[in-house]
């Protein structure tokens, strides 16, 4: 198990699991979010191939009102 930060909240996860699985486990709907890891954009098409490392910082963003 490794620790990662998801929207500034520490989460434990298995580093062998795909990002898409983890996102679903954490309650996110992949088609309604966009993801960056350590400040770099991760396209949805790469979720399946992406595996997290200890200490990774994830930003999982969703649409909000804007000016």
Partner 1 sequence: MTETTNDIWRLYGRPFSSRLLIGSALYPSPQVMCEAIRASGAEIVTVSLRRQSPEQGGGSAFWEQLKGLNKTLLPNTAGCHSVKEAVTLAQMSRELFETDWLKLEVVGDDYNLQPDPLGTVEAAEQLIKLGFKVFPYCTDDLVICQRLRDVGCEVLMPWGSPIGTGRGLMNPYNLQTIRERLPDMPLIVDAGIGKPSHAVQAMELGYDGILLNTAVAQASAPVVMAEAFRAALLAGRLARLAGAMPERQTAAPSTPTLGMPFWHQQ
Q: Which residues bind partner 1 (CB under 8 A)?
A: 7-8, 26-29, 32-36, 39-41, 43-44, 59-67
The three-state DSSP-derived secondary structure of 37-48 is: ECCEEECHHHCC
DSSP letter, residue 49: T
Q: Cβ 15 to partner 1, closest distance in Å?
A: 22
Using the minimum distance from each CB to partner 1, give the nearer residue, 1 or 67: 67
Using the minimum distance from each CB to partner 1, give the nearer residue, 16 or 67: 67
Q: Cβ 48 to partner 1, closest distance in Å?
A: 15
Residue 14 CB: number of other CB atoms within 10 A?
A: 12
Q: What does the alpha-carbon distance between residue 67 and residue 55 come to, in Å, rounded to a whole number?
A: 33
């Amino acid at each position: 198990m490794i620790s990662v930060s998801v929207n500034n909240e520490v989460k434990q996860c298995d580093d062998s699991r795909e990002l898409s699985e983890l996102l679903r486990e954490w309650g996110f709907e992949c088609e309604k979010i966009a993801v960056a890891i350590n400040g770099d954009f991760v396209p949805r098409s790469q979720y399946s191939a992406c595996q997290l490392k200890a200490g990774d910082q994830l930003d999982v963003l969703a649409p909000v009102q804007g000016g």
